[in-house]
Amino acid sequence: MKSIPIAIPQNVTLVDPEQALTVFVGPDIPLTEAPDACAANHQHMPVPDEQEQSSRTQERLSALRAAGTDVAAMLKPPLYQSAYDKGLGTLYTAHYRPSEGCVTYYWPGESWEQSFGDFVPGSRTVAIGQAG
């Protein structure tokens, strides 16, 4: 991971059947391990108040930790964001289950499960940012 060029700050979560680990990476920071595997598009260092007020990453991180594996909670604010015009919209939510060998991708009203051992290529078209 340390040798991969990184253009913008990101969270990367690495998962295997025994453990999950999230790291913070960026062009101007050393690779840093997060305290747990939760990630809400934040970095480990405090951000300016104005940025936190618009992105609410710390609020979202707390909500994510409280939600655990409750997918319904992840598809509602503050975890699911719809401020696409500000670049703050959720594209999808994923629930990885490595011990079962599968992942399910979620959007409001739709999901798509894939198996690691029997992956079936495909695509989905999902309308995002639409008034519901």
Q: What is the pTM of this model?
A: 0.77
Residue 124 has what DSSP assignment?
-
With bands split at pLDDT 50, 70 and 90, how would you rate the model's confidence at 131? low
Structure confidence at residue 28 (pLDDT): 86
How far the first Cα of the chain sits from its last, in Å, is 40
Quick: pLDDT tens for 48-100.
888 888 888 888 889 989 998 899 999 999 999 888 888 888 899 888 888 99
Checking if the pLDDT of 12 tops 80, the result is yes
Quick: pLDDT tens for 15-31.
888 888 999 998 988 89
With bands split at pLDDT 50, 70 and 90, how would you rate the model's confidence at 45? confident
List strand residue ranges (DSSP E) for the chain, in order.
10-15, 20-26, 29-33, 82-83, 88-89, 93-97, 102-107, 110-115
